[in-house]
């Protein structure tokens, strides 16, 4: 079997590593520190993929408000919807009413006999220290209860079923005893505070209604803590991520350890998920709608303690772990009766609500900016997060929480979200277990280096198919849009230029040779190199026109001072067909954003499928040949190394999930082979697998 030359292999893999971004396998894994984005530039620096309207109307007391959105519910907000909803909502856009609770006198007004003496052996409240599930309860003579998260069965605290049960019992006890309480400190016995959801639990959720109820339980617990009527402080001695930060956001004050291991953020979007415990609701009210979307929610940034404080996620810092609880208690004594700022009548969200003119204008331009972002996991979650944030900002806190839970329920049970969790949690775990990856990366993150030969073959198939489209006369903007709308990390012609066309020539030659060698006989497809026009296009670009890529200042794109200046207009003249649209773009910018014409005789959806199938079929071949060691490794490497669309969960998961399963994929591959050449003909092992009804597992 032909192998890529060492030179081409090294170059392609190097570029793949430059363009790929490591995705965490769980919310617990710290990634590189983020810098907050200024609101002035934020409208073009968030993540989303599509626009739609959301029609959910929530009421905190009606039965309908407790039901989740169905999977078919629109999960995005169009620019027009943002302004229309903001103008017509009957809820106060920026005012959250105070929550009514039975009046409780502050601790200083309690009679001496109502508080525990705290004397050893007295049995009084001042000497309590016990465990409630995975939470340790310890009450001091000062009336302050210290709740220490300590799940002995796991290396890190997570917001799993055991935690929810424990927290529910703790909240009930706090409510029973609040008349004698001074305040509450929430901290952790582990090096981290809490690191979010148990992804194994989320992966098993299939029913949106069950997902909605799960979110509702956790959200209600935190809301009861927030409205306890006593000061509650989070003492964060390590990473507070996802559900961990949601716990902290429900506290009235947050103190964090200013040390390298402390990271704070809501990284759910990086796994195709979103917060479900009121995180969207609270961070929007804390930071403002646009600031929250850009700097906390849509891209799942993680911040050091100092940068989290600068952004506004935490209120105070301490230098040592021993200072955490004392600092928290000092704040409690100084603030005996706090209320969450959004529960104060008249509270205004920073920057205003969606109906304010300045914010409405920014939100109206946001969807277009979101679509220009690289494809990835965040694009799966982006529409739901955007909708929940904008809708929730126009409602009271409790109703906004219901809306957040609805969008979470729809998202977490979607196939795209499940694919992402499967790939970056389950499959990565399997790869680590197989020894193909190590768990000693930065912050304990799994580290996996995709095999160079595997990545090069997949990239070669992707880029060769794009070049073949150009040779057929498909307009270059359509080729670029096909790659981006399919969800690949980079558009193909742009990637060709970045890698240099000479490197792509070598990789494409291998891809074509492999496709011809593996093409099954018969079936109406001609197994020759001539049915693949990629080599002719690349040869002419390099040898006839001297356009070898960005490094030389000329490739599929034009360049001015090293910057892309639009697709080369010569593409239309040299490769275009009459009536098929403008093959050279408009000369002004990135062709991936140019208008797309429908190529004569070729549906745009088919262009996307050709790119997807070219890479998926090459992945199948690599697995059969032993170039990659397992299904799990192939899925992870196709995503992290070759930039295959994140929403698929990996190239082999794409085969499994194609309509009709593996058999449906085989049938479609045969149809593409009959139309475009033998490179799409399914190999015999894949056909046999389809006949057995056996997915890749």
* Residues classed as catalytic: 246, 268
Long-range contacts of 567-575 (CB under 8 A, 24+ apart): 567/476, 567/477, 567/480, 567/493, 567/591, 567/594, 568/476, 570/545, 571/470, 571/476, 572/475, 572/476, 574/540, 574/545, 575/470, 575/471, 575/473, 575/537
- Closest residue by Cα to residue 32 from 495, 387, 441: 441
- Residue 349 · residue 343 · CB < 8 Å: no
- Closest residue by Cα to residue 653 from 419, 377, 411, 381: 419
DSSP strand pairing (135-139 vs 144-149): antiparallel
Gap between the Cα atoms of 679 and 527, Å rounded:
7
Q: Characterize 432-442 residue by residue with b for buried, 16 or more Cβ atoms within 10 angstroms of its Cβ, and e for exposed.
A: beeebbeeebe
Helix (H, G, I), strand (E, B) or coil at 184: strand
- Closest residue by Cα to residue 430 from 583, 633, 581: 633
Cα–Cα–Cα angle for 498, 648, 80, rounded to 5 degrees: 85
CA dist list (Å): 270 to 19, 227, 372, 425: 16, 31, 17, 12
Q: What is the 3-state secondary structure (H, E, C) of 257-326?
A: ECCCCCEEECHHHHHCCCCCCCHHHHHHHHHCHHHHHHHHHCCCCEEEHHHHHHHCCCCEEECCHHHHHH
Gap between the Cα atoms of 14 and 430, Å rounded:
25
- Closest residue by Cα to residue 471 from 536, 546, 516, 528: 536
Helix (H, G, I), strand (E, B) or coil at 133: coil
Helix (H, G, I), strand (E, B) or coil at 78: coil
């Amino acid at each position: 079997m032909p192998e890529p030359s060492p030179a081409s292999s090294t170059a392609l893999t190097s570029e793949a590593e430059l363009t790929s971004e490591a995705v965490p396998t769980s919310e617990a894994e710290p990634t590189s520190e983020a810098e907050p984005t200024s609101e002035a530039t934020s409208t073009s620096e968030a993540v989303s993929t599509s626009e739609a309207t959301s029609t959910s109307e929530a009421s905190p007391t009606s039965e309908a408000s407790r039901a989740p959105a169905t999977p078919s519910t629109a999960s995005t907000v169009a620019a027009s919807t943002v302004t229309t909803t903001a103008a017509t909502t009957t809820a106060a856009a920026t005012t959250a009413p105070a929550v009514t609770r039975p009046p409780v006198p502050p601790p200083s007004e309690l009679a001496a006999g109502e508080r525990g003496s705290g004397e050893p052996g007295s049995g009084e409240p001042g000497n309590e220290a016990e465990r409630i599930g995975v939470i340790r309860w310890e009450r001091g003579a000062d009336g302050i209860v210290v709740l220490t998260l300590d799940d002995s069965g796991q290396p890190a605290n997570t917001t799993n079923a055991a935690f929810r049960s424990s927290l529910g019992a703790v909240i009930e006890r706090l409510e029973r005893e609040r008349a004698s309480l001074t305040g509450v400190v929430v901290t952790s016995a582990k090096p981290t505070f809490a690191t979010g959801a148990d992804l194994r639990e989320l992966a098993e959720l299939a029913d949106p209604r069950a997902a909605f109820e799960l979110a509702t339980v956790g959200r209600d617990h935190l809301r009861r803590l927030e409205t306890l009527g006593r000061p509650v402080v989070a003492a964060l001695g390590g990473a507070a991520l996802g559900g961990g930060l949601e716990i902290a956001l429900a506290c009235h004050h947050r103190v964090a350890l200013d040390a390298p291991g402390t990271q704070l953020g809501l990284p759910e979007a990086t796994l195709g998920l979103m917060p479900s415990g009121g995180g969207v609701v609270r961070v929007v009210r804390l930071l403002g709608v646009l600031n929250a979307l850009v700097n906390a929610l849509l891209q799942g940034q993680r911040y050091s303690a100092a940068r989290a404080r600068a952004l506004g996620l935490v209120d105070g810092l301490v230098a040592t772990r021993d200072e955490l609880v004392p600092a928290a208690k000092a704040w409690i004594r100084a603030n005996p009766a706090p209320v969450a700022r959004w529960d104060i009548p008249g509270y205004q969200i920073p920057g205003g609500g969606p109906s304010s003119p300045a914010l409405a204008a920014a939100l109206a331009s946001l969807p277009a900016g979101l679509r220009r972002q690289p494809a990835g996991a965040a694009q799966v979650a982006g529409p739901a997060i955007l909708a929940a944030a904008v809708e929730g900002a126009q409602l009271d806190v409790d109703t906004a929480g219901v809306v957040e839970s609805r969008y979470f329920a729809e998202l977490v049970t979607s196939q795209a979200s499940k694919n992402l969790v499967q790939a970056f949690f389950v499959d990565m775990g399997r790869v680590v277990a197989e020894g193909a990856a190590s768990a000693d990366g930065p912050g304990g993150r799994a580290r996996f280096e995709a095999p160079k030969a595997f990545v090069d073959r997949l990239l070669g198939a992707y880029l060769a198919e794009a070049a073949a489209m150009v040779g057929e006369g498909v307009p270059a903007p359509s080729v670029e849009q096909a790659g981006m709308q399919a969800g690949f990390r980079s558009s193909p012609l742009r990637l060709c230029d970045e890698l240099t066309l000479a490197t792509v020539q070598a990789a494409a030659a291998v891809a074509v040779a492999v496709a011809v060698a593996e093409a099954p006989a018969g079936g109406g497809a001609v197994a020759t190199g001539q049915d693949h026009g990629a080599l002719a296009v690349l040869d002419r670009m390099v040898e006839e026109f001297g356009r070898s890529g960005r490094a030389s200042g000329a490739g599929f794109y034009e360049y001015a001072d090293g910057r892309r200046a639009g697709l080369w207009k010569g593409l239309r003249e040299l490769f275009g067909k009459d009536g098929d649209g403008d093959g050279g773009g408009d000369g002004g910018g990135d062709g991936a954003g140019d208008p797309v014409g429908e190529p004569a005789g070729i549906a745009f959806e088919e262009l996307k499928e050709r790119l997807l199938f070219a890479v998926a079929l090459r992945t199948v071949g690599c697995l059969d040949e032993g170039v990659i060691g397992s299904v799990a490794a192939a899925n992870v490497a196709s995503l992290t190394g070759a930039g295959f669309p994140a929403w698929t969960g990996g190239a082999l998961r794409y085969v499994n999930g194609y309509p009709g399963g593996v058999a449906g994929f085989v049938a479609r591959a045969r149809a593409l082979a009959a139309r475009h050449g033998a490179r799409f003909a399914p190999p015999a092992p894949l056909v046999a697998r389809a006949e057995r009804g056996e997915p890749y597992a």
